[in-house]
């Protein structure tokens, strides 16, 4: 099988050696407001990507293991280092834990399982992806995050994803960057357009759809995907753009949501129930559903609605006195 799966194309805008901030994308989805209740502890996110810089100061404490399924390093399964940068950037958005200098991810106490299914060139074979999904299932991951895609609808890949869902794993995928800014035309990348996955489109930090984001009727929601600051190779940091950067915001958000709602419900919620909890935490941005799905992931929307309801209730009580 030829190498036709690839990282969702992305743009490296700049690299830096030092930063000290909560990235704007993490702020935009309101993640810091949830940290007083959970930072994702006890939730495992399997990142299917180009590997990870496992010695990065902001990531090393979150990584619990991994496996290499690619042809890098002589196909040694125990070496899942990142020679590309893409996987390390995705990992940081999900769960970077800021040290003295660095960045913080959406769910900074979530555990990361590094599943290397794309090689140093950012490309891979479908059977590597399938093997990676099966490995994540075996390792009992809570969430699978995939910022990758290809043009082929492969039944075996689809079946692997269905198997993951059947074991209660949430599968998050980047929608793809073949968009033309026109919601009347559809652009499809697999696995991002399968109905079973949570398909994530990109917006900029001004909350408008990115010109490059794919549009179709399987988009579930959107997240920040332009000028995203995160971890990078050799302990550095970089700003990247792409739906590749939007998907991990949602994967991190789900780590927070799963920790939050399992605790409040007092039981393990099913995949459909967790998906419903995610969609409850979105706000429409006013664009076509083909571009934004249900809207922007916004973790405090329920808290906001509760406050509004309480204020309105008090007004009603006062007016009736």
- Residues serving a catalytic function are 49, 86, 244
Residue 317 phi, psi dihedral angles, 5° rounding: -65, -45
Look at phi and psi of residue 195 and say left if phi exceeds 0, alpha if psi is from -120 to 50, else beta: alpha
Rounded to whole angstroms, the Cα distance separating 61 from 70 reads 24
**Crossing angle of helices 243-265 and 271-280, rounded to 10°:** 110
Q: Which of 109, 129, 110 is nearest to 119 (CA)?
A: 129
- For the chain, the residue count is 321
Quick one: which H or E segment has residue 70? Answer: none
Beta bridge partners of 108: none
Q: Which of 124, 95, 125, 123 is nearest to 111 (CA)?
A: 95
Report the 3 state secondary structure along 197-233.
CEEEEEECCCCCECCCCCCCCCEEEEEECCCEEEECH
Rounded to whole angstroms, the Cα distance separating 256 from 244 reads 20
- The residues, any chain, with a CB within 8 Å of residue 164's CB and separated by 6 or more, are 133, 136, 137, 144, 171
- The residues, any chain, with a CB within 8 Å of residue 157's CB and separated by 6 or more, are 126, 129, 130, 133, 190, 191
């Amino acid at each position: 099988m030829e190498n036709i799966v690839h990282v969702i194309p992305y743009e490296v805008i700049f690299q830096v050696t030092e930063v000290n901030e909560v990235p704007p994308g993490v702020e935009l989805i309101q993640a810091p407001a949830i940290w007083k209740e959970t930072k994702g502890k006890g939730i495992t996110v399997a990142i299917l990507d180009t590997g990870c810089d496992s010695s990065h100061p902001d990531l090393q404490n979150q990584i619990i293991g991994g496996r290499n399924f690619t042809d890098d390093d002589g196909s040694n399964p125990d070496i899942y280092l990142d020679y590309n940068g893409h996987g390390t950037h995705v990992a940081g958005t999900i769960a970077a834990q800021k040290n003295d200098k660095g960045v913080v991810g959406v769910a900074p106490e979530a555990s990361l399982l590094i599943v290397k299914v794309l090689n140093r060139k950012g490309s891979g074979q479908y059977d590597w992806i399938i093997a990676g999904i099966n490995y994540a299932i075996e390792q009992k991951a809570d969430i699978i995050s995939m910022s990758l895609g290809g043009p082929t609808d492969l039944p075996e890949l689809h079946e692997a994803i269905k198997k993951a869902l059947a074991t209660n794993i949430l599968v998050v995928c980047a929608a793809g960057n073949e968009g033309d800014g026109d919601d009347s035309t559809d652009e499809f990348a697999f696995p991002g357009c399968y109905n079973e996955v949570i398909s994530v489109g990109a917006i900029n930090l001004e909350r408008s759809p990115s010109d490059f984001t794919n549009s179709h009727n399987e988009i579930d929601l959107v997240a920040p995907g332009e000028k995203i600051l995160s971890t990078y190779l050799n302990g550095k940091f970089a700003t990247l753009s792409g739906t590749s950067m939007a998907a991990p915001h949602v994967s991190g958000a789900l780590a927070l949501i799963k920790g939050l709602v399992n605790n409040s419900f007092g039981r393990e919620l099913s995949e459909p129930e967790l998906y419903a909890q995610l969609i409850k935490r979105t706000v429409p941005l006013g664009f076509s559903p083909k571009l934004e799905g249900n809207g922007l992931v916004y973790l405090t929307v329920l808290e906001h609605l509760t406050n509004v309801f309480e204020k309105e209730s008090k007004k009603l009580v006062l007016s009736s006195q």
